[in-house]
Amino acid sequence: MHHKVTVIGAGTMGSGIAQIAAEAGFDVTVVDTDQKFIDRGIGGIGKFLERKAAKGTISKEQMDQSFSRLKGTTDMKAGVEGAVMVVEAVFEKLEIKKDVFMKLDSLCPAEVILASNTSTLSITEIASVTKNPGRVIGTHYFSPVPLMKLVEVIRGGKTTDAVAEKTVGLCKQFGKTPIVVQDIPGFIVNRFLCLLYNEAANMINNGAASAEAIDQAMKLGCNWPMGPNEIMDLAGVDVCYFAIDAMYQMTGHEGYKPSPLFKKMLDQNLLGRKTGRGFYGYEKKA
């Protein structure tokens, strides 16, 4: 029998999570608010799988099989039917996530695991709207999901041992390496990265080092594949700023107090690759 996983939200992360579950042999249903988002998400997975088949990483048959396991619906009730786990990957807004978890809690039998892919919000807080918070857990995947090995598995205040163990097992079945973390702001990775990104921006802002010097230093001295400013340009300078500011609000730690450079960059629309300029220029050559 094929087990089924349901993913709520067919965006960047939801479609990535749907892809790895389908490639691992699970039947997958993706739920979003509009068919056009589902088509975009599943279409993106199709293209990713085609590229893998073209490179010879998977066979054409594997590509077809993985793709055939994917379904989409705008009807959450029908979408979660028969799932062993539901992974939520909707917008990073507490009220929206709480609303989704309230609905999932009423639709899914008690043994179904309800996981959130939040990058900053408290799992305990999300779980507080459910009648059964013991089955709520965080599974924080990294972008691009099919390529990044880590999943931070976040135990909420009431998450049961059985749910944590089962979640770790499912993440391994999806081909990932889970690390169990406590429900603290930023979990592990963003707790560090936000400090580093902020310090890089502070050094540039006060003239201590250029973006190039910082990136070269971290690549050559620490073997980072990309420097912190290159990563911020890729992820979006605005996205990084919001995460740093959220960390500052949650912890009060001065190291997260957003560098004044971020405001200057946001005001000038220097958001990284997506706007053609951030710490570096990416203007298309004519």
Nearer to ligand NAD, 90 or 170 (CB): 90
Annotated active-site residue 119? The verdict is yes
- Cβ nearer to ligand NAD, comparing 140 with 176: 140
Core vs surface per residue 220-230: b (16+ CB within 10 A) or e:
eeeeeeebbbb
Closest distance of CB 141 from ligand NAD, Å:
6
Encoded tokens for 119:
């990058």
Residues that bind ligand NAD (CB under 6 A): 8-14, 31-33, 37, 89-92, 96, 100, 117-119, 140-143
Beta carbon nearer to ligand NAD, 53 or 250: 250
Let me know if 116 is a catalytic residue: no
Candidate list 15, 66, 119, 198, residue with the active-site label: 119
Q: Which two tokens stand for residue 61?
A: 């048959």
Instruction: Point out the catalytic residue in the list 117, 190, 198, 202.
Output: 190
Cβ of residue 139: shortest distance to ligand NAD, in angstroms?
10
Confirm whether 95 is a catalytic residue: no
- The residue whose Cβ lies closest to ligand NAD is 11
Say whether 15 is catalytic. no
Q: Measured from the CB of residue 19, what is the shortest distance to ligand NAD in angstroms?
A: 12
How many residues make up the chain in this entry?
Answer: 286
Smallest distance, ligand NAD to C-beta of residue 147, A: 12
SS (HEC) of 39-96: HHHHHHHHHHHHHHHHHCCCCHHHHHHHHHCEEEECCHHHHHCCEEEEEECCCCCHHH
Known catalytic residues? 119, 140, 152, 190
